[in-house]
Amino acid sequence: MLGKLYKHEFKETAKPLIPLNLVLIVFTVIGAIMLNTNLLQNENFEILAVTCMMLYMMSIFTVFIVTMVYLTIRFYKTMYSRQGYLTHTLPVSTSSIINTKIVVSSIWMFVATVITVLSVIILIRVLAGNEWDSAVWQEASVEFPEAFGMQLSEFIIWMVVLCVVSCVASILMLFVSLAIGQLFNQHRVLASIITYIVIYIIQQIVGTISVLIMGIGSLDNITIDAASSTFDVGAFYRGIFWMGLIQSLIFGIIFYVLCHYFTRKKLNLE
């Protein structure tokens, strides 16, 4: 039954989200073709160039915004609205239902992120032309450790890990806001929005304090004489990455526990 639940969730969410991601892919292909043919450099096509750039930027924001809005609305309707009566009568535990929605929603957010990043990289690659070759990549790989204190491969791994964790944490943040909002008998949507804003502010405060503490602590590693500075750039960036990862994991666990608790113990269907 759990496998059918995942299959159904993927099937239903794929109907609007696959076409949405395909739109960005289509704009990427069109942009790559236009850049490769130098069509946008023609003065007669300046309006077309500006229009294409605006449409491309809009498509990037649309992918993320629409994906998050759709997943949020679907979670609320299937869990806390009248449709929730059917959802909670399924022969699976509430935890399994919530886990399914978290996993599927996080995957869609990760897919949207990957497609966006690849889209930007492809357009930069086409725009760079001959300036982007193996020699340039090798040179960047050599210079990168000097600037960031770590290998480029390590940096990419950190970015992927943080991206995955951030996608899951952002989905959990949305879902726990809805779980708290459904506790109210009236103005549930407004209560969910206010809850989300409050949680966001708390996260920003904690993040700012953590960065300040880490920044002050890193000053101990810098000597007065810049020429003999012992500041470890790599350790500094790794510290930031670890801090971001740990904070996302802690908040994610809190959101997960609260979402389960309010849904299982304080369910208030319309």
The 10s digit of each residue's pLDDT in 205-214 is 988 888 777 6
CA-to-CA distance for 16 and 25, rounded, in angstroms? 15
Q: What is the pLDDT of residue 181?
A: 92
For residues 160 and 79, membership in a common domain is answered with no
Cβ-based neighbour number of residue 112 at 10 Å: 21
For residues 146 and 240, membership in a common domain is answered with yes
For residues 42 and 23, membership in a common domain is answered with yes
In degrees, rounded to 5, the angle at the alpha carbon of residue 270 between the alpha carbons of residues 88 and 92 is: 5
CA-to-CA distance for 145 and 153, rounded, in angstroms? 10
For residues 49 and 164, membership in a common domain is answered with no
For residues 169 and 235, membership in a common domain is answered with yes
Q: What is the pLDDT of residue 133?
A: 65
Mean pLDDT confidence for 221-248: 69
pLDDT at 34 over 70: yes
Total of domains in the chain: 2
pTM here? 0.82
CA-to-CA distance for 246 and 260, rounded, in angstroms? 21
Mean pLDDT confidence for 226-240: 66
Q: What is the pLDDT of residue 58?
A: 79
pLDDT at 221 over 60: no
Mean pLDDT confidence for 11-20: 91
Name the pLDDT band for 229 (thresholds 50, 70, 90): very low
Most confident of 133-137, 212-216, 232-236, 264-268: 264-268
CA-to-CA distance for 229 and 79, rounded, in angstroms? 56
pLDDT at 59 over 70: yes
Q: Of the residues 78, 100, 132, which one is the last residue of a structural domain?
A: 132
More confidently predicted of 39 and 193: 193
For residues 137 and 192, membership in a common domain is answered with yes
CA-to-CA distance for 114 and 61, rounded, in angstroms? 14
Q: How far is CA 70 from CA 12, 174, 266, in A?
A: 11, 11, 24
For residues 202 and 111, membership in a common domain is answered with no
2 located within any domain:
no
Q: Of the residues 132, 167, 199, which one is the last residue of a structural domain?
A: 132
Question: For residues 102 and 14, is the Cβ–Cβ distance under 8 A?
Answer: no
Instruction: Look up residue 140 and give its amino acid.
Output: A
Q: Of the residues 86, 114, 132, which one is the last residue of a structural domain?
A: 132
Q: What is the pLDDT of residue 85?
A: 86
34 located within any domain:
yes
For residues 203 and 92, membership in a common domain is answered with no
Mean pLDDT confidence for 130-139: 66
Name the pLDDT band for 121 (thresholds 50, 70, 90): confident
270 located within any domain:
yes
For residues 102 and 174, membership in a common domain is answered with no
121 located within any domain:
yes
Question: For residues 25 and 123, is the Cβ–Cβ distance under 8 A?
Answer: no
Q: How far is CA 46 from CA 38, 39, 42, 51, 57, in A?
A: 12, 9, 7, 9, 17
Q: What is the pLDDT of residue 101?
A: 93
Show the domain range for 51: 12-132
For residues 117 and 141, membership in a common domain is answered with no
For residues 188 and 248, membership in a common domain is answered with yes
For residues 58 and 188, membership in a common domain is answered with no
Burial class (CB in 10 A: 0-12, 13-18, 19+), 114: middle
Name the pLDDT band for 227 (thresholds 50, 70, 90): very low
104 located within any domain:
yes
